[in-house]
Chains A and B, each alone.
Chain A
Amino acid sequence: MRKHFYWLFIVLLASCIEEPAPQLNTVESNFESLWKIIDTRYCYLDYKKIDWDSIHDVYKLKLPKDSSDEVFFNLMDSMLDELKDGHVNLYSDFNISRYWKWYTDYPANFNSSIIFSSNYLGENYRVAGGMRYGKIDNGRVGYVYYGDFMSSFYDTNITSIFEYFKNCNGLIIDVRNNGGGSIEYASKLASYFFAKDTITGYMSHKLGDGHSNFSKPTAVKTLAHKSIKWNKPVVVLTNRLSYSATNDFVCRMKMAPNATIIGDKTGGGGGLPLSSELPNGWMVRFSACPMYDALMNHTEWGIEPDSPVNMTDSDIQKNIDTIIESAIITINNK
């Protein structure tokens, strides 16, 4: 027994941890590195039914022998576009690749000049914590435009806004053209519209290199704010450019008791992105942790509104926002 123990000890000592060989900074090595990062860490290859192996073969053939950084960058940009994911970017010293078709191929459903016209916010709107707000529909409806989930806000801002709207029939939260930001702000903003803590979704992450190896989904709870609460109807306005953290906010608000989602389907961006790096120092960002709604549906392709509404050309010509008008009717009918 003792002899075996000694042997085991010697084997353990001898079994050195071997680090992978350093990657070379060549076109081929950078290509293989990028392909492998996506192959092993991108979370939607199977969900989107992408044959990443064949993409490898196709793009490897296109690799030029002596390419400039720009030629190589553009080729890798094209390869990453195959993922059809706005959360996938390649950051070089001279450019950032991006995929924009998730909203450029759809109606805009947003016109800021209409929102800031006298029909709605006008010139004398208020600003608190990145939110622009004012009363519309002759003071019967409160309207908040929040265009960036990177803009911070505090409880005092929300208290002031809710106090200002206390005599309104309901509230519109407009997150159209909000491309995302901090998921913490998404969770915090939603918390004011919940009466109790509610499971509003799930998230998981990749385990190992397999395309479908994921951890057991963790429940994502939206915690109801302890003291600040909006109890009247609330309508969330969305369009295709409601993306990433905004997508998460809409996913949460789908479960809020007095909330209605009106507008276009959100742009998606349901995968929490992480970053990695190529030997040439370029950074790649990619969706790594898939997020699901409360029914375990993927949110990567966007969230359907409760009431789909598109802006019409005739309304736009009259400086009318069809989606806001629809929200006003919804609030006043409740």
Chain B
Amino acid sequence: MKKLSLLLGLLSAGSLAHAMQYSGRVGLETRFFTDDSEYQNSVLAEPEFYWEDASGDNNFTVELFGRWDELDDERTHFDVREAAWLHVGSTWEMRLGVSKVFWGVTESNHLVDVVNQTDLVESPDGEQKLGQPMLQYTAIRDWGVIDAFVLPWFRERTFPGPDGRLNGLLPINADEASYESDQEQQHLDFALRYSQSISVFDIGLSWFKGTNRDPHLVAYSEANTPLELRPYYDQMQQLGIDVQATTGDWLWKLEAIARDDSVRDYGAFTAGFEYTWVGFAGSAMDLGLLSEASRDSRNNQAPTPSEKDVFFGTRFTFNDAASSDLLLGYSRGINEPKSYALFAEGSRRFGNNWRTTLDARIFNGERPDDPVYQFNDDDYISLTVEFFY
């Protein structure tokens, strides 16, 4: 906090007043749950401020996010997505503050991406992330890029509350999280990443040691109170690799990890391809075909829905003035064809500043121990209208 106020002092001294950008979005979302005809309405705002000094060597970015949800107190939340100073040297960079980083190449599962916590109340696909306080040093050399991270504060995962939707079979009490480390959220975490592009390959090797972003959910009950789940954050160490080969119309992708948490050592991978047919069937449209398989050595003990799964996707990019797109996805257990999830995500722009997004998800778990089973009654279709400025 002291460092931040020092930084703000520098800002007000005018050293970063050269270039300023102000942008963001506000939006309305309505989700309709088809199993019980319930509506869930919410509003969101995401302003972003950016300052850069005259040399371009220093900049400061602030990105805030807030959502108000009519049903779910947990989904009504505010987050500092980014509030970071970046210094750019000739062959190095240093970032200090709250920020987001993304590691990886696959679409259906993000195994190696462990720096930022998932903002699960935002979307069940886990794509949205919370801001992470960090000191990041980047060395840029001909032989590759090294990123070193010190992560001084842990962010707990957000979970939909009891009045919300997509909240599982048992209530999750995120306020009663516990930790393996006595330092709890103050545990100092470290990460390293090496990345390089060599001809058609983009390769990343990563290491993380610290508080596991994926909590173990532990059943808890006291006399006279109903059973609930409480997040337990253990310590873990992970080695990860991500590789993409880009050959013609084909992208070949692999992510693999070896992780050692408090329960066991295990390995997992996701591998697949994306093929793009430009000018599909003589049109101006692109058709993308995606397929990925995921495997987790913990088998049925894996808490994720991707222990032995296959994903198929079809992406339509219309290449029109409205930048219309549509992604259809289908994932299921390799040995359990009756457990599946289906989704459709489509969006298009109206005018220069408006975008509408339609999102539909169908969940069908066959047995109660299928992770997708908990969402069986949460099939929904959502419409989002956003204004960008």
A and B from one assembly? no
Interface residues of A (CB under 8 A from B): none
